[in-house]
Amino acid sequence: MVRSWNAKHKGVYVAITESVTPNPYLIDPMRDITVNPDLMLTKINPSLMTREISRLTEQQSGAIMRITSLNLLNPDNEALPHEQVALMQFEKGISEKWQHMRDKGKSIFFYMAPLKTDDSCLQCHGSQGYRTGDIRGGISIALPLQAPFPWKGITLIHAVLLVSGLGGILYFGTALNRAHESLKHQATIDALTGIFNRRSFSEKIAVEFANCRRNNRPLSLIMCDVDWFKKFNDTYGHNAGDDCLVRIAAVMKQSLRRPTDFCARYGGEEFIMVLPDTSENGAMHVAERIRQNVLNLDIDHETSPVKKVSVSLGVVTGDPALTSDYEQLTIQSDKALYQAKALGRNRVAGFSRETTTH
């Protein structure tokens, strides 16, 4: 910090005294200034300022700060043996060095960090071949220890902190993972029926359309609507309506026997299924199975012509290589569904074709 402050102001001037003399290693035509016959100033650079402060610190507390290097400009800054070891390690990429040691019979704590060359250093050290960013030395501090350094206590504290930290990371990591899975579930699953929602359908069909186009295989869609559902809600109430949708969704999911098949709630009482690599006949067969399985639920619907809850289904099969996009298939499946409803409901209709089942 002292060095940075001094460098920021490009050195500071102090009065020349018996204890402060001009720095012979500072190359600056404005190093010394005469203010008047009784006052002469000399510029103090970052290194000298650090050394002067270190002298005061050593006198008051015994702590010693030093700036040193393996490539010396000032012989007074020659590195001590343990500093030389640290400096060599800095050149290999070590970011700091600290140790508990004894010096002249005293117990001390030694710490050292590398000094990197910045633009302010080049005025004195540029002639040594340094460039901005180079490690040109290090700054160390030696703190006297009045009592044995509590290594065991510090080690225990660090161990406790480490275990606590790892435990916290594990706990919060698990919690975050659960939260992520919960959000993912909410974003892709219909809250009422437990099957995939319309957003999931949009993602799934885009992938399957691309796969079928790449492999030159057919792709079939089935659009499904619960017959006379508004009348069912009006007659039995919305709670019964919700339960009805849940049971129908479960039947549809069970009716799709391949892991690649996919069903989703499209909106309200509408559902949609994606059947990759499925021919028109295969899709019609699946749709008919769903229609019959819904009837087998035997859910009363007094206002329906068949007196039970039924569904209408529209089927379309497309060749992705000849179809512009999957949205076109979705529109065609909806038109096929409209055709099934127009023919009396409780039936399956193919796009531009129809199959009637009672």
Q: Which residues are catalytic?
A: 269
Strands (E), the chain: 12-15, 32-36, 39-44, 64-68, 97-103, 106-116, 135-144, 219-226, 262-267, 270-276, 311-318, 348-350
| CA dist., res. 162 & res. 195, Å (int) | 43
Residues 155/158/159/160 CA torsion (nearest 10 deg): 130
Total residue count of the chain as it appears in this document: 358
**Which of 203, 194, 201 has its CA nearest to residue 223?**
201
What tokens were used for 90?
């800095």
| CA dist., res. 324 & res. 258, Å (int) | 26
Q: How many CB atoms lie within 10 A of CB 169?
A: 10
**Which of 222, 260, 207 has its CA nearest to residue 337?**
222
Residues with Cβ within 8 Å of 219's Cβ and at least 6 positions away in sequence, in order, are: 208, 209, 212, 274, 275, 276, 277, 278, 317, 318, 319, 320, 326, 329
| CA dist., res. 289 & res. 155, Å (int) | 70
Q: Is 357 helix (H, G, I), strand (E, B) or coil?
A: coil
8 Å CB contact between 275 and 206: no
Q: Is 176 helix (H, G, I), strand (E, B) or coil?
A: helix
8 Å CB contact between 49 and 2: yes
Q: Could you tell me how far CA 148 lies from the centroid of its own chain?
A: 45
